Structure 1
Amino acid sequence: MTISPFEALACPLDGSPLQRVEGSLRCETGHNFDVARQGYVHLLPVQKKRSLDPGDSKEMVAARQRFLNAGHYEPISDAVNHAAAGVFQAKNAASFLDAGCGEGYYIRRLANTLDEGQNAAVLGLDISKWAVLAAAKQDKRVRWVVGSNANLPVLPNELDCVLCLFGFPVYHEFQRVLKPGGQILQVDAGPDHLRELREIIYPELKPDRPDRDAIPDGFQLLGSEYVRYSLTLTNQDAVADLLAMTPHLYRASAEGRERAEALESLTVTVDAVLRRFERT
């Protein structure tokens, strides 16, 4: 197998192709983006930010990295890898974007499962500079980019597959960058995901979203797969990492966080659904 950085990047300011020029990426109109020493590039212009430091914090990224590297979500990753194998079909080369890659756990494991003779051009993108920095430190084979799903710095019709795993899908952008017949592999939390933790930190649980099974315009549903299992976290640090890596840390009340932080172990339900969409 061969893993290479995805190259068909677009300027986030005007959409024109970016070319590597020494230690930077530059478009034909002169916009220039330096490649960091760690190997990633920042393609999220300040005028397109909603805050000074958007996305996951440095602490959230570190907690997620510890939690995922412990193998707690490995069955979800395995399901994604199995679905991604179908993207190749009769061809030996494919291009992948992990849209909301975090610290790169899922796309890194996917790259390591490719068969002999398969070639993948891979791009990992996240709005958090801390997440992309952590990803770039762990794998030099992938193109890592700080950017937004709302304005993907990718040229049109260039990707075979977009991964959106517990992220924020922007379907019109996914449709723009995918080739005809390209796929989205999307993982979302099911209604019982981490229910036991949520029951501890919230006074009451919100009802499930009614639009969960909606099919986005411009796509057809190829299939769904449910990943559900019981996960026991046997120490306080693992429970703390789970809480810290999710939005629940900021949504919960102070009392709810205190109850969770006092736990020395916790058994939770992992409930995720993997849906495969094809661009029509």
Structure 2
Amino acid sequence: MSTTSFEALICPLDGDSLHRKGGAWQCETGHGFDIARQGYVHLLPVQRKRSHDPGDSKEMVAARRRFLESGHYQPIAEAVARTVLVSVAPDATLSCLDAGCGEGYYLRGLESAADTQALALLGVDISKWAVLAAAKRQKAATWVVGTNAHLPVQTSSLDRVLCMFGFPAYAEFARVLKPGGELIQVDAGPDHLRELREVIYPSLKAPRVEDDGAPEGFSRVGRETLRYTAELESAEQIADLLAMTPHLHRASAEGRARAAALEALTITVDVTITRFIHAAD
């Protein structure tokens, strides 16, 4: 197995191809973007920021790292890696983007599972703290501060796109995928973290009706449900899980206090892994 950086990037200002020159990425127009000493590059123009420091905070990223390193989501990482690698020619270099990569957990899992498969990996996240954490852990990949709404990636340059519990930007995913490339989308199922949600909310919303269709430009080729239980054995693990989910901000102060009072909790992990193939134009 060999892992290399993904280099088919574009300038976020004019869309021209970027080329790595020394310690920066540059386009022919003259725009330059310095590579931080940790190894990532910032390709999110200020006009595309909705706040001064968008995305997950430094504290949220640290909580996610601690929780994921405890192994509770390892079955998800393993299932995703299997899905990414299915039917890949052994002599090919597979290019894969994690769109909303967080601190890089799932790309590290893919690298570990690849065995002899050559990989070119790219992680993009709007949080500089997440990308910084990812770049420190996996040097061979390319790490970019950017947005899924305007991916700084060349058209038709990727074999796989991962969208893990995120907000899919289907038009952009279709643009950057090669014809026949695949989007692997992971979403929470109806019982995902049910026990935690029952603690922090007075009542639970009815589950959404599952959509059996496919977004424009894609065909659905498979869906897998992964369901298991996990034991959280400390108040710190429960707090870290809550901090890495949207429920931290959605719950009331009373709901957060009820969660903080817990010393242990059994949770249900319930996710769907859907494969979409990008149709040729």
Q: TM-score range by the shorter chain?
A: over 0.9
Query: Match of 1:36?
Result: 36
CA distance in 2, matches of 1:162, 1:143: 14
Query: Match of 1:204?
Result: 203
CA distance in 1, matches of 2:155, 2:191: 37
TM-superposed CA distance for 1:211, in Å, is: 5.7
Q: Name the SS of the counterpart of 2:12 in structure 1.
A: coil
CA deviation profile, 1:12-53 (whole Å, cap 9, x unmatched): 111110011221111111111111010000000000111111
Query: Match of 1:144?
Result: 143
Q: 1:269 to 1:169 in 2, by over 3 A?
A: same
Q: 1:53 to 1:211 in 2, by over 3 A?
A: farther
CA deviation profile, 1:71-124 (whole Å, cap 9, x unmatched): 0001111110111111514652110000011000011110111132x2111001
CA distance in 2, matches of 1:101, 1:214: 25
CA distance in 2, matches of 1:57, 1:236: 21
Query: Match of 2:183?
Result: 184
Query: Match of 1:240?
Result: 239
CA distance in 1, matches of 2:229, 2:72: 10
1:22 aligns with 2:2: no
CA distance in 2, matches of 1:6, 1:85: 17
Letter in 1 for 2:246: P
Query: Match of 1:78?
Result: 78
CA deviation profile, 1:192-242 (whole Å, cap 9, x unmatched): 100111111111222223364441111011100111011110111111111
TM-superposed CA distance for 1:272, in Å, is: 0.3
Q: Name the SS of the counterpart of 2:269 in structure 1.
A: strand
**Retained in 1: the 8 A contact 2:78–2:113?**
no
CA distance in 2, matches of 1:141, 1:44: 21
Letter in 2 for 1:185: I
CA distance in 2, matches of 1:272, 1:218: 24
1:258 aligns with 2:280: no
**After the TM superposition, which of the residue ranges 152-161 and 86-95 deviates more from structure 2?**
86-95
Gap runs ≥5 in structure 1: none
Query: Match of 1:59?
Result: 59
**Retained in 1: the 8 A contact 2:156–2:177?**
yes
**Retained in 2: the 8 A contact 1:87–1:183?**
no
Letter in 1 for 2:240: D
Runs (4+) of structure 1 exceeding 4 A deviation are none
Query: Match of 1:157?
Result: 156
Q: Name the SS of the counterpart of 2:184 in structure 1.
A: strand
Identity across the alignment (%): 62
**Retained in 2: the 8 A contact 1:87–1:94?**
no
Query: Match of 2:50?
Result: 50
TM-score norm. by structure 2 comes to 0.97
Q: 1:127 to 1:256 in 2, by over 3 A?
A: same
Q: 1:105 to 1:274 in 2, by over 3 A?
A: same
CA distance in 2, matches of 1:32, 1:83: 36
**Retained in 2: the 8 A contact 1:87–1:160?**
no
**After the TM superposition, which of the residue ranges 160-169 and 209-218 deviates more from structure 2?**
209-218
Gap runs ≥5 in structure 2: none
Query: Match of 2:111?
Result: 111
